[in-house]
Amino acid sequence: IRVGVMASGNGSNFEALATAIRDGHINAEIALLVVNNPGCGAQQRAKRLGIPWQLFNHRNYDSRSALDRDLVQRFQSLGVEGIVMAGWMRIVTNELIQAFPDRLINIHPSLLPSFRGLDGVGQALKAGVRLAGCTVHLVTEDLDAGPILVQAAVPVLDTDNHDSLSRRIQQQEHRILPAGLMLAADRWRQG
């Protein structure tokens, strides 16, 4: 199955996906990586991995919808059947969601439905929870609220700060995002 990936930052989740696919764990291929920040880590990783990438700089668009319309056009032209948002730090609009219903998955660094929105890690630290984690879910119109595919929990240690907890969560993200794509891709193949 042909998938598109969208990333805004470091791209460690994107690379975890690419590695799982290359190692034959997921029967899929990445048709295109889309980035919105010129020169970001995800772009550099795609270059190194030899995966097609394209910059859609949100700063060049008048609206979120206009950007999403271009993304839909590009992904559809490539025959993309599902999309993974691997650290996409822009709110997506119905343009994208309705063009790929139940075919968009996202990774969020909290145990949803707790701590939706920005900085799930910081929210967990502030709330003093003893368990934090991450969630792979289908994207719907409601932010960080679609059907959950996979979750992983990690302990929060007394000595934790934002960096140490983020690192522990990211280790799990790199495991559950490929697992989430595996699950979703099976459903997508059934059409």
Task: Report the binding-site residues for (6R)-10-formyltetrahydrofolate.
Answer: 64, 89-92, 106
C-alpha angle 51/103/101, rounded to 5°?
Answer: 140
Residue of minimal Cβ distance to ligand GRF:
87
Map residues 104-133 to x or -, x wherever contact with ligand GRF holds by CB under 6 A: ---xxx------------------------
State the minimum distance, in angstroms, from the CB of residue 147 to ligand GRF.
18
137 as an active site residue: the answer is no
Stretch that binds ligand GRF, among 52-60, 66-74, 103-111, 156-164 (CB under 6 A): 103-111
**Binders in 150-179 for ligand GRF, by CB under 6 A:** 170, 173
Q: Which stretch binds ligand GRF (CB under 6 A): 9-17, 47-55, 122-130, 145-153?
A: 9-17
Residue of 114, 146, 151 whose CA lies nearest to 129: 114
Q: Kindly indicate which of the ranges 5-13, 18-26, 50-58, 96-104 contains the residues binding ligand GRF, using the contact rule CB under 6 A.
A: 5-13
Site string for ligand GRF, 130-149 (x = CB under 6 A): ----x---------------
For ligand GRF, the closer of residues 47 and 76 by Cβ is: 47
Helix (H) or strand (E) holding 15: helix 12-22
* Interface with ligand GRF: number of residues (CB under 6 A): 15
DSSP state of 11: -
Q: Is 128 left (phi over 0), alpha (psi -120 to 50) or beta?
A: left
Contacts of 29-32 with CB under 8 Å at 24 or more apart are: 29/1, 29/2, 29/3, 30/3, 30/4, 30/5, 31/2, 31/3, 31/4, 31/75, 31/78, 31/79, 31/80, 32/4, 32/5, 32/74, 32/75, 32/78, 32/80
